[in-house]
Structure 1
Amino acid sequence: MKTVLVIPDGVADEPQPQLNNRTPLQAANVPHMDAVAECGQVGRTDNVPASMPSGSDVGTMSLFGYDTLKFHTGRAPIEAAAQGIELADGDWAVRCNLVTVLDDVMVSFTAEQFPNDAGRELISLLQKDQCGDSHWKYHAGVSYRNLLLYRARGTAAPFTAETSSTPPHDITDQPIADYLPQGPGADQLLALMNRSRELFADAAPNVARRAADQLPATQTWLWGLGRRPALEPFVDRYGKRGAVITAVDLLRGMGRLIGWDVVEVDGATGYLDTDYAAKGRAAIETLKRDDVDFLVVHVEATDEASHEGDTAAKLAAVENIDRHIVGPVHDWLKSQGDYRLLVCPDHPTFLRTRTHSHGYCPFAMCGTGIEVNSPSTYDEVAASNSDLVFDEGHRLMGYFLNY
């Protein structure tokens, strides 16, 4: 039996005044998601424990059926796995954003979607500056998303589980002073961030950006640090051979850590301009493979729209997911016989705050052996009226797979 999880990242939201006090899911035209609800079950799940920061690293680990209070160590080591970077005992990975901070305010956590080539040039500049230190190593990623590694090399790392950091997307338009790294080793992170400001001030990519009236990357922002998590393979845990379609390193890394195949799709960007139809086609082609029982299709666009506070873009993104992914994939699954389909975000991302939030996410599931529990729409209100509730989100996967 083929099983599919579609993740419209961060789609869960609050009622919006500009949408006549409806949530984006209520206001959007999503007939295919509503069809999943109508022929199956709607409920709600809390994927992010209150004691942990809300983000896709926690939310997706929980959604994939792993107790984050037991397994989660940090966001950066998951992204390191996406790049094929091995972390030895004692090593730490740190997420390294290229950001724009002006007058000590976080103006842009992406440095206005900093270009890949320009970003690599800045990361190379940082690495040359640190080449005499055997512990630190920068790795260029995509756009503003990069990594910094601390290689222990037999020594004790300066960090502990008490070292804290704040995601830059949580503090857009806010002063940064209260959100700098804290705890053991924080002084080293702050020193590196301060050094990046010096190196970036007159760096060629930033000079060119300013001349073109574009935002420069004024510094790095270091956060999400952690060690490699010890995750049981998904096939051992749930008896399903998995694959994941995503344009985001975090999901690629999660997939690799639990033994899934990572399917790359041309035109998938991890942003609002992603090729939804290409993802839908790739999903069906992947499901035809004999070595794939379980497929995750992740779309970041809904989350990005919330981070930008763009209501229209969030509506468009979820409608595109519905039209080009949920609809075609559900039709194909029904044509094959036994199947199960689940639609669920990893966490709420509010347009009002432009950041991730704690709280319940609505889900809809249907397929073989799943009884109907009445709701005919997929949205937060329908989910809040359902008796199907998972206060510990990692338990949803076992229920969905009937494992």
Structure 2
Amino acid sequence: MKYIILIGDGMADNAIDELGGKTVLEYAFTPNLDSIAGSGKYGLFATVPQGYPPGSDVANLSILGYDPKKYYTGRAPLEAASIGVKLSPADVAFRCNLVTINDKDGLDVMDDYSAGHITTGEADGIIKTLDREFSKHGVRFYTGTSYRHLMVWEDAPEGVSAVKTTPPHDISDKPVAPHLPNGKGDEKLKALTELSRAVLKDHPINIKRVAAGKKPATSIWLWGQGMPPAMPTLKERFGVSGSLISAVDLMKGIAIYAGLDVIKVPGATGYIDTNYKGKAEYALAALEKQDFVCVHVEAPDEAGHNGNLKDKLTAVEDFDREVVGRVLDGLERFGEYTVLALPDHPTPVALKTHTPAPVPFALMTSVKSGQRGIVKFSERQAAQTGLLIDDCKVMIEEFFGRPEQVCDLT
């Protein structure tokens, strides 16, 4: 038996007037997602436990069967694992976005959480400058991908990991002052943020970006902090070998803690120009040697954060055609297989941020496939089935078709 999870990050949405009251999933042409929904178990999955932030970290831990209430310690430690940063027990890792903050009516406003989707090459020069300038303050900066990077507060005081921080994509076009760090260690974090603005103001890379009509990285934004989690691997839990494909450091970090191989696909960008076809091809190749593969596509989420309806529709249809369709065609050669397709959370284009609403899921196995007629993979039809799974352990055991082996490191 081969097992595959296909995640279209942020695909779920709310009803949109411009689409005649339909959601993106209802409006988009998604025959392959529809086929899975019509051939197996179909309903809603609550990926975000009540009281938890609706981030991709929490939601994707749930999808892989890791209860956030047991295993979630923050986003940044997962990303640290992805880029090879070793954390000591006293270190606290922070996600460090490069952002564009501009003055609007006398207030500093979050103009762009991604600094115009700055390239990794450009960002690397900026991150190296920050590390050089700020290492004397007991922090280190590490380059990630595009606008997504890492800051580690070395030997941090106890309680720093509990400081309140805000994801920058949650405050697009809003004043930043009310959302600066608040709690233990906030004075240092706010000082670093302010110092970064002075360092970046005349940075050569920003000068070039502005000259080219691009948004500059005017500041760092620190959030998603935490300490290293202790997680059993999927091999220990279900006896499966596997891989994960994603352009996003967060997902790669989850994979490392879950004991999965991380497959690098050429041209995988984490944006709408990603190599969809390559992701499908590499996933099928991985299944030749392993039991399980998870394919994650970031593009719909980025379009949602940008409030770009056209891009989100394109990303969802590309995901369905180039990833889901190609995978379904290729799976036939393996004989028996199980496929789970779903978003991790909604990223409504009108809100430009995540919401905690349950998401549609479709779970099909070649062993027990059926047909329920014409089905549309969407939030509304999934809700109409009456099926809601609100326990990630139930979902992952259903996916693998067997109970989890007793293995709890918490």
TM-score range, shorter chain: over 0.9
Shift of 1:130: 2.1
CA distance in 2, matches of 1:14, 1:67: 26
Shift of 1:209: 2.1
Q: Is the contact made by 1:47 and 1:394 (CA closer than 8 Å) also made in structure 2?
A: no
CA distance in 2, matches of 1:310, 1:394: 34
CA distance in 1, matches of 2:351, 2:393: 26
Q: Is the contact made by 2:337 and 2:367 (CA closer than 8 Å) also made in structure 1?
A: no
2:153 corresponds to which of 137, 150, 153: 150
Alignment CA distance shift 1:337-1:213 (3 Å): closer
Q: Is the contact made by 1:100 and 1:217 (CA closer than 8 Å) also made in structure 2?
A: yes
Q: Is the contact made by 1:41 and 1:373 (CA closer than 8 Å) also made in structure 2?
A: no
Q: Once the two structures are superposed, what CA deviation does each residue of 1:123-152 show, in whole Å capped at 9, x if it has no partner?
A: 12211212334x311111222111011221
SS of the residue corresponding to residue 146 of structure 1 reads strand
Does 354-363 or 375-384 show the bigger shift?
375-384
Q: Is the contact made by 1:136 and 1:148 (CA closer than 8 Å) also made in structure 2?
A: yes
CA distance in 2, matches of 1:373, 1:87: 49
Cross-structure match for 1:367: 365
Does 313-322 or 67-76 show the bigger shift?
313-322
SS of the residue corresponding to residue 50 of structure 1 reads coil
Shift of 1:369: 4.2
Cross-structure match for 1:53: 53
Does 234-243 or 217-226 show the bigger shift?
234-243
Q: Please, what TM-score do these two structures have when normalized by structure 2? A: 0.94
Identity of aligned residues (%): 40
Cross-structure match for 1:130: 134
CA distance in 2, matches of 1:115, 1:360: 33
1:106 corresponds to which of 107, 110, 124: 110
Shift of 1:85: 1.3
Structure 2 counterparts to residues 82-93 of structure 1, below 5 A: 82-93=82-93
CA distance in 2, matches of 1:399, 1:131: 48
Amino acid across the alignment from 1:328: R
Shift of 1:231: 0.7
Q: Please, what TM-score do these two structures have when normalized by structure 1? A: 0.95
Q: Is the contact made by 1:306 and 1:355 (CA closer than 8 Å) also made in structure 2?
A: yes
Alignment CA distance shift 1:162-1:92 (3 Å): closer
Cross-structure match for 1:384: 383
Structure 2 counterparts to residues 385-400 of structure 1, below 5 A: 385-400=384-399
Q: Is the contact made by 1:15 and 1:23 (CA closer than 8 Å) also made in structure 2?
A: yes
Cross-structure match for 1:117: 121
CA distance in 1, matches of 2:197, 2:345: 33
Corresponding pairs, count? 397
Amino acid across the alignment from 2:328: H
Cross-structure match for 1:252: 252
CA distance in 2, matches of 1:346, 1:83: 22
CA distance in 2, matches of 1:275, 1:242: 21
Q: Is the contact made by 1:138 and 1:149 (CA closer than 8 Å) also made in structure 2?
A: yes
CA distance in 2, matches of 1:218, 1:326: 38
CA distance in 2, matches of 1:161, 1:145: 19
Q: Is the contact made by 1:41 and 1:372 (CA closer than 8 Å) also made in structure 2?
A: no
Amino acid across the alignment from 2:319: I
SS of the residue corresponding to residue 74 of structure 1 reads coil
Structure 2 counterparts to residues 261-280 of structure 1, below 5 A: 261-280=261-280
Q: Once the two structures are superposed, what CA deviation does each residue of 1:141-174 show, in whole Å capped at 9, x if it has no partner?
A: 222111011221xxx5254453111000111101
Amino acid across the alignment from 1:187: E
Cross-structure match for 1:236: 236
Q: Once the two structures are superposed, what CA deviation does each residue of 1:354-394 show, in whole Å capped at 9, x if it has no partner?
A: 11111110001111344648362211111101232112345
Q: Once the two structures are superposed, what CA deviation does each residue of 1:218-239 show, in whole Å capped at 9, x if it has no partner?
A: 1100110100011111111122
Amino acid across the alignment from 2:321: R
CA distance in 2, matches of 1:132, 1:91: 16
CA distance in 2, matches of 1:161, 1:122: 25
Cross-structure match for 1:325: 323
Q: Once the two structures are superposed, what CA deviation does each residue of 1:198-227 show, in whole Å capped at 9, x if it has no partner?
A: 111111112222223322111100110100
Question: What is the alpha-carbon root mean square deviation over aligned residues?
Answer: 1.5
In structure 1, stretches of 5+ residues that fail to align are none
CA distance in 1, matches of 2:263, 2:369: 32
SS of the residue corresponding to residue 229 of structure 1 reads coil
Does 369-378 or 73-82 show the bigger shift?
369-378
Q: Once the two structures are superposed, what CA deviation does each residue of 1:298-317 show, in whole Å capped at 9, x if it has no partner?
A: 00001111111111211111
